[in-house]
Structure 1
Amino acid sequence: MDFAFDARTEELRARLLAFMDEHVYPAEAVAEEQRAALASPWEVPPVVEELKTEARRRGLWNLFLPDERYGAGLTNLQYAPLAEITGRSPQLAPTALNCAAPDTGNMEVLAQFGTEEQRKRWLEPLLAAEIRSAFAMTEPDVASSDATNIETRIERDGDAYVITGRKWYISGALHPDCRVFIVMGKTDPEGADIRRQQSMVLVPRDTPGVEVRRAMRVYGYEDHYHGGHAEVVFDGVRVPADHLVGEEGGGFAIAQARLGPGRIHHCMRLIGMAERAIELMCRRAASRTAFGKPLATQGVVQEWIADSRVAVEQLRLLVLKTAWLMDTVGNRGAHTEIQAIKIATPRTVTEIIDKAVQLHGAGGVSQDFPLAELWAAARTLRLADGPDEVHRRSLARRELKRYA
């Protein structure tokens, strides 16, 4: 395994680091000021569009897509250090580069499973950031950590599908540019194979019967920059049969194909979040005095910083190993490692950010520093794309199988 950055990665890293310093970090305060003056909390601050324009000009666009027809054609190993950098400003940087969830996963689904017509109608404008999208899978009335529990019905009626169900925490659904949902539901609820009961369909946002009911908060945050997380009701929503993604019964497999890259992308960005927390910790420790001594001389503070550095280096190596395996043996061959990083990274990064919050005192939980929002995002990722317990269960079964 060789994790050294190749020439292309080094060049893109240099370009991206300059973009972050010159444009993204200064835009954080600007975006907050602009957002406060907008008529709706879901409107996009003008500076975000300026960042997108500048990112495209610098060739920092759609870096996440390995398919050269649509994206930069980078491997997972090449993309990992770039995604890490964007994680340092998770509200602005991924969006600026058109590398923000849930659009990334939806674009991957359309690129891999969509028809030519679906790609032309939805993928191309998503690639150009002309529209946004949402992925409707999680439901409030069932344990959605087991996707086979999903109750939303997708019923064939002549040349159409009719969708009925209720979803929540549907990221991006409140964004004013959201134009399409990828909805997962059951087309064959009585099927013998529980993993062949589900299908996915494309549902235009303005289809009659689609009701975006309310914004769901995440630790009090509404996540405006990413289009929020909504409760959405599909009440007899009718779409043409050609809006089916892939084949009937293929929804579970498509979801797994979508979530694998999504999980490692989250972990890549989480490492960037941890790096920013360590940076803020060090700056705070060097600049504040308590009880007659700089915080940097306090033994417990030094331990926090040292332990955080060790943990980040361990996580980065595991994520890079996972990226390398995904590139060389495929997502299925890297299944154990994908689960390992999904368990370890959000948990450890939450602990690192928590130390940074503690070091900042009241400032750590305030809006004057990004730490509280970073903590909420990292903690939420212990649930998103499968809770820790599901991944532990699956990983343990795989380990135990060797000894059965």
Structure 2
Amino acid sequence: MALDKHTWKEQVKRLFAAFDKPLALIVFLLLCVGLVTLYSASIDVPGRVEDQIRNIVLTFILMWVLAMLPTQTLMKFAVPLYTAGVALLIAVAMFGLTKKGAKRWLNVGMVIQPSEIMKIAMPLMLAWYFQKREGNIRWFDYLAAIALLGVPVGLIAKQPDLGTGLLVAAAGLYVIYLAGLSWKLILPVLIAGVVGIGTILALEDKICQPDVEWHILHDYQKHRVCTLLDPTSDPLGKGFHTIQSVIAIGSGGTTGKGWLKGTQAHLEFIPEKHTDFIFAVFAEEFGLIGEGVLIVLYLLLVARGLMIAASGATLFGRLLAGAVTMIFFTYAFVNMGMVSGILPVVGVPLPFMSYGGTALVTLGLGVGILMSVAREKRLMQS
């Protein structure tokens, strides 16, 4: 009997041997916090928590499968996945489904959003490219990488889907930076960005007039930026989201109003409270202390991911793990920023907390990639 028990324990241990324990624990805690908050945000919508649990189970399975794969196998998927993703984006542009003025979906027997594929395919492709050029990376390789990045980002921005486009662009740029792009090239871009933001702030009253056209952005994107600068300019429209979420965060105070006691959420003042604005629900009910704990969890997630990236056995593994980790950071930063009113509302979910299967699966695949890189290093040391 003792032998059977010992054998059973060994089988379970082997089954989860691919999991990086610290990373798995952090993700588990975030998922638990997410389910608790989602229950409060969706208390008037039966079945939503159960749906999210099913999404978590599916994500866990995919995460486990990816964690078991060697990074060499992941490399083999890079070019086919990137090619398929770009082909699907072209198909969306040609005969995609249009909803709410945006053409982002494709019916292939079931409705899919191909832009989500690029969140994983893009860093995979660029990490593969630089792995192939290892030891012989020249300046034109960075131009080639930017071209590979520009094609899907341009197609996604044309849908239009600025939020997803920025996330895919960030995923690719992280790989390019980690591959050794010189600060001499990065610094001018940063300076230009600071000058551009400063100009918008200084000229807000003039450029946000209804008769002024922004030729680079769509009208709704201009409206988002201008509403960010002054939410009260459209308090019952685009500004409503920002105003109500900021009120919720502020009303939570230091300790919060308590679980299930958030008035902004339960009186339906917070829009999209179970998805993009779930952080506002959490902040109202758990206050500044809860926000601090949540931010610490995300910082631990990023720190663990960067540790895995730094110890990667190959350039491909290091670049891919580093980019995936920074994607987690970007998701969390952009979501908290837009809910807090310091960034435009671009529809970015809060990692492992927002309701929804697509984003959760994408993030779970990212965790699986990190575990694959960590597992490869452990195997080399054993």
Name the one with the larger helix percent. Answer: 2
Higher relative contact order (Cα pairs below 8 Å, separated by 6+ residues):
2
The answer to whether TM tops 0.5 is: no
So what's the TM-score if we normalise by structure 1? 0.29
So what's the TM-score if we normalise by structure 2? 0.30
Name the one with the larger strand percent. Answer: 1
